[in-house]
Amino acid sequence: MSTPNESIQLTLNGEPYAMTAGLTAADLIEQLGLGGRRIAVEINEQIVPKSQLAATPLAAGDQIEVVHAIGGG
């Protein structure tokens, strides 16, 4: 069992990322300052719809991708 202040290691956009255990994908997005931004989230190669972010707990070892639109042809 995780204690409230225990931290877990994630991989976020290809880089190691430490986060407090017991939080959700929505918490992560808020923590990154990306709440309300036009982004898309994938965890372990599965899309997590916006509506599901708050209901998606994060676990140690999760591979998370947060993407947005940029210029391209």
Partner 1 sequence: MTQLTDTPFTIAGRDFRSRLLVGTGKYKDFTETGAAIAQSGAEIVTFAVRRTNLGQDADAPNLLDVISPKQYTLLPNTAGCYNAKDAVRTCRLARELLDGHNLVKLEVLGDDHTLYPNVVETLKAAETLLADGFDVMVYTSDDPIVARELEAMGCCAIMPLGSLIGSGHGIQNPHNVRLIVEQSRVPVLVDAGIGTASDAAMAMELGCDGVLLNTAIAHARDPLRMANAMKLAVEAGRDAFLAGRMPRRQSADPSSPFAGRING
> Hey, CA dihedral for 21, 25, 28, 30, is it positive or negative?
negative
Contact residues for partner 1, defined by CB under 8 A: 12-15, 32-34, 37-42, 45, 47, 49-50, 65-73
Cβ closest to partner 1, residue 40 vs residue 59? 40
Closest by Cα among 10, 37, 38 to 24? 10
Cβ closest to partner 1, residue 4 vs residue 73? 73
Cβ closest to partner 1, residue 2 vs residue 13? 13
Q: Which amino acid is at 39?
A: I
